[in-house]
Structures are given as structure tokens and as C-alpha cells.
A = this chain, B = another copy of it.
Amino acid sequence: MRNITMLGTGLIGTFYTMTLHGYRARDQIKVACAVNDEQAREFAKNWDIPRWTSDIAEAVNDPETDTVVIGIPNYLHLQAALLAIQAGKNVLCTKPLGRNAAEALQMLEAAEKAGVFHGYLEDLVYTPKTLKALESVKRGALGNILWARSRETHPGPHSDWFWKKELSGGGAIVDMGCHCIEIARNFIGKDVRPVEVMCWADTQVHPIEAEDSAVGLVRYENGAIGQYEVSWTFRGGMDLRDEVSGTEGTIWLNHWLRTGFDMFTAVGQGGYVAEKAEGDTGWLFPVGDEVNSLGYVHMFQDMLDAIDEKRAPMETFYDGYIVNAIVDASYKSAQTKRWEPIELAVWRGSEGGARKIGPSEYDAEHWLIKEEKMPDGKTKLILKAKSSGEISQKFTE
């Protein structure tokens, strides 16, 4: 059982609290910290939390709590994490870890130096679908992963601070690209080094400085590609999908808009439909259990179990740092308009490109290009001679 300090009472703090206090949980939030006293008091009251404050240091140093959850705006992560580390508490920080890799590295190093538990609250790699898909990939169901696309787009964030670049550290890339980057990295393999990034980013619609849309390609050392697509201009709700291609298979995940729940209503229902839904009549696509579907439940389970079991969780500050480094390279690429190397001061995976990808052998003399069943029942083989390089085709019954 954990006693928790919750920093942040906005949308993310609400989702976190709903999760931590959900089901028949044995963990408890003992103090809530909001941007001002009024919000803190109301939040504490709603969620039956004994203490509240608007002072981050006071919340972090609450004598009863052993774990600090950071769910406040990006520009406060570093400061809050350092306070929690100083207090010797377990520290769990929402995404992105820092506004940039330098901040993230500072957090990682401080946590490791102090020897405190650190978890990176990257919920979307913990969705039940993603966890099961990752398990299938580990078992080899897809062969070697060649390409992973992760997409998060919606009509724009809820809070005004998101729209201010100096507070958020950026736009849609920092807000959502960090999710997509880490999802693709999990599928491709955390031991495979991300080498370089090509990124397009633009402010297509909104009167803001930060990008409201971006597409990035992250090339890994073994030739695999992680592709992220983020936007604050999407219409129709929240589009949250992953697609993974491997030499032996394919995975498609749809986390939000098409999950087996379709509703048409001519009259509406006078209330909330789903996060970032647009409209409340016509065809709607609610999500059954939102905090479960978004990965919050399995994320906190892993984090708190890991603390109990004195092991590292699936996502640590190290992972958060890698993500920030990829984000930094993305911003640079969007400026220079070319592929930019990913600078990693710390790299703990393999060198030289783990999990090679490449052609299959047909026999001693030939590579197999393709095998296909034809309409007439025959099998067509397309082969390449290793020595001459000649390409030929033949049919077998």
C-alpha cells in the first residue's frame, strides 16, 4: 500500500486520481496540490483526500506520503522532481519528462544519484491492447519489426497553458509526439538505438507560435522506422491508433474511435460522451472504460508493484530522456529541413544494430524475393541468384 502526493488537479491529475482510487485499490492519495487553494480544496473534497495545498514543496514533503506523482505542466516537472528526489521519495512523472533532453537528463541523473525510484508515466505504452501486442511481438508473431506508426490527433488540448510555447516547451510534438515516439520504440525494441530523425512540423490552423501538426520519421540503427503523426487540428474526436509491420505479420490497434462501441442518438444524452468527442448527437463512439483503455490502470499497477517489489518499472526516467532527445532532434529537423542525428549522452542499449533485418534465403544459390499463391492454385516464386543477381520466377504446384 502506497501513500501518495498528487501534484496536479487538472485533466491529467483527475485521470490519475480516478485510477489510483479506482476498483478496489489499496493505495491512497494523502495530499493534493493544485495551482491555487480553491482548486486544491475542491479536488481534495471530491476525491476524499485528507490534505490539500497549493504549495508544491509542502505537498512533496508531506510526512505521510512515500510517493510523489507529478501531473503538473511541463515547465514545472524538473523543479518538482528535484524536490521529490531531495525528499528521498519515489517519484513518478507524467510525459514528457522534461521540456527538452537537458531537463530530462538532469532529472535522470538526480534520481539515480539519490538512488530513488523513478517512473516515467507514459500511459499509452500501457494500454491493455499495447501490452498484449508487445507480448505478441516479443514472442515473434510479427518477425522482425520494420515499421511502427503511432498517431495521436484531436481538436486541441484542454488547458490554455498547452498553447503557450514557453510553458509547454512546444506544441503537438511535445504534447503527443512523446507518446507516439515511445510506442514505436517499444515495438521496434528498446535495445535498438534510434539514430536520426526527419520531421515536418507546421502551424496549419491555429494563431499560435508552436506547431499544431507534425509528422516525424525516426530511423533506428537496424533500419526500422518509427513514424509519428500528431495534430491539434483533427476533427471527429481523438484519433489514437498504432500500426506495426514486421517481416511475418501486422498489428493494428485502435484505442479510441472504433473499439466496438457504436451509438446513434437523434436526441443526445445530456452529458459527456468520451474524451475530446465532438458533438453529442448522430453517430458517436464512446469508450467503455476510459482509464483502463488509456493505460492508466496498468501503468500505475506496474509502477506501484515495482516499488513494492524493488524492481524497475517498464518505463523509467531513462526512457523519458531518450524520448526527449528524439523530440529535440525532431524540432531541429523541422528547422533545418533534413535528417538530424539523435544526440544521446546516455545510451544503454546495444551497439551495432540489434535484431538485423534483411532478405531470406531460398536455397544455397538463391534469395527468395516473394512467394505467392495464384488464383489457379499454383505457387509462384520470385528468386534472385546470389552470384549473378539475376531475377527469375518459377511455379510450383
A residues touching B (Cβ–Cβ < 8 Å)?
A: 1, 22-27, 127-129, 131-133, 136, 139-143, 146-147, 153, 155-160, 163-164, 198, 200, 202, 204-208, 213, 215, 217, 219, 223-225, 227, 231-237, 239, 245-255, 258-272, 276, 278-289, 292-293, 297-298, 300-301, 304-305, 337-339, 357-360, 367, 369-370, 372-375, 377, 380, 382, 384, 386, 391-393
A265-B141 in contact given A217-B215, A271-B377 (Cβ < 8 Å): yes
* Assembly CA distance A356 to B244 (angstroms): 35
A207-B367, A280-B373 given. 7 additional CB < 8 A pairs? A139-B269, A163-B391, A205-B360, A249-B264, A259-B260, A266-B278, A282-B283
A160-B382 in contact given A141-B263, A200-B198, A373-B280 (Cβ < 8 Å): yes
Q: Which of chain B's residues have a CB closer than 8 A to the CB of A139?
A: 269-271
The residue that A282 contacts in the complex, of B253, B279, B287, B300, with Cβ under 8 A, is: B279
For the complex of A and B, 10 pairs with smallest distance between CB atoms? A128-B288, A282-B282, A236-B264, A128-B289, A207-B367, A254-B260, A141-B269, A338-B338, A249-B265, A26-B26
Q: Which of chain B's residues have a CB closer than 8 A to the CB of A298?
A: 289
CB of A67 to closest CB in B, whole Å: 12
The residue that A217 contacts in the complex, of B26, B200, B253, with Cβ under 8 A, is: B200
CB of A108 to closest CB in B, whole Å: 26
**A298 and chain B: residue at smallest CB distance:** B289
CB of A74 to closest CB in B, whole Å: 15
Q: Which of chain B's residues have a CB closer than 8 A to the CB of A246?
A: 235
**A251 and chain B: residue at smallest CB distance:** B263
Q: Which of chain B's residues have a CB closer than 8 A to the CB of A205?
A: 146, 247, 357-360
CB of A125 to closest CB in B, whole Å: 13
A136-B263 in contact given A146-B205, A233-B245, A384-B207 (Cβ < 8 Å): yes
Q: Which of chain B's residues have a CB closer than 8 A to the CB of A278?
A: 264, 266, 282, 373
Q: Which of chain B's residues have a CB closer than 8 A to the CB of A146?
A: 204-205, 213, 231, 233
CB of A296 to closest CB in B, whole Å: 11
Q: Could you write out 16 A-B pairs with CB less than 8 Å apart?
A: A22-B23, A23-B24, A146-B213, A146-B233, A156-B382, A202-B225, A205-B357, A233-B247, A249-B265, A250-B264, A251-B262, A251-B263, A270-B377, A272-B375, A278-B282, A279-B373
